[in-house]
Amino acid sequence: MLAGFAVGTEVTLTVALPGAEVPDLAQCSALPHLRPLLAWEQEHPARVLAVLDRTGADLSVYAAGSAEPLATAVTGPDDEIERNAPGGWSQGRYQHRAEDSWEHNAAAVAEVLARLLRRYDAHMLLPAGDVRAMQYLQEHLPTWIHADVAVRRLRGGRSEDGPAGRLAEQVTVQTHWIVAEQIEGLLAASAYCCPPARQDKPGPGSVLDRPTSRWTQIRSSGPA
């Protein structure tokens, strides 16, 4: 699916909408028809999926307006992750070293996540995986993430086939709910701060009467 916008005979913008189910549409009006594009962008915000274990994490980064993620992995600096050791006086020391390794690895994941969230201007973080690793991750995430990013835990763990396919349904559902909550919050804030203005009929010379011609075309990218 492709959305295109033009002024006269000049195409000013084209935007790919992969997977969008919108009927073909061509429209000429004073203002561009943006609703399908805005709906697509709203349903596909920037977000990051992180599936952790005690060695690191698999990350899937969805850029704004993208249906397919960019995949990367983080491997922590410590490889001593097992607490199994012979009993006796040394048992506690082995357990403590393993716990330190888990925390160091989670801290490395938190650092990479912070960079990705800033780079893609993402305000959604969806972690899943080992419970202890996620606890350490939460402790090491920067304060601004706790304040500005919606965090929702998913069910599932790390495996060789990657996270995106197995958790796709949960990602879609949680994204839908977060977007709905954000819209509800914006509407509530708008109603509180800016009460509805009086709706007067546009007079002569308003934007609706101007002769500017703007073409909007939204059509599937396949053959006609």
Q: Does residue 71 share a domain with residue 182?
A: yes
- Give the predicted TM-score (pTM) of the model: 0.70
**pLDDT at 189 (0 to 100):** 78
Q: Does residue 115 share a domain with residue 35?
A: no
**pLDDT at 72 (0 to 100):** 92
For 144-164, b where at least 16 C-beta lie within 10 A, e where not — what string? ebeeebbebebeeebeeeebb
**pLDDT at 162 (0 to 100):** 56
Q: Which domain range does residue 28 map to?
A: 1-43
**pLDDT at 144 (0 to 100):** 95
**pLDDT at 66 (0 to 100):** 81
**pLDDT at 214 (0 to 100):** 44
- In the chain, which stretches have pLDDT less than 70? 18-20, 78-96, 159-165, 194-224
Q: Which domain CATH number covers 111?
A: 3.30.420.60
The CA distance from 155 to 170, in Å, is 8
**pLDDT at 36 (0 to 100):** 75
The answer as to whether 58 is a domain residue is yes
The CA distance from 125 to 145, in Å, is 9
**pLDDT at 92 (0 to 100):** 57
The answer as to whether 214 is a domain residue is no
Q: Taking the mean position of all CA atoms in its chain, how far away is CA 66?
A: 9
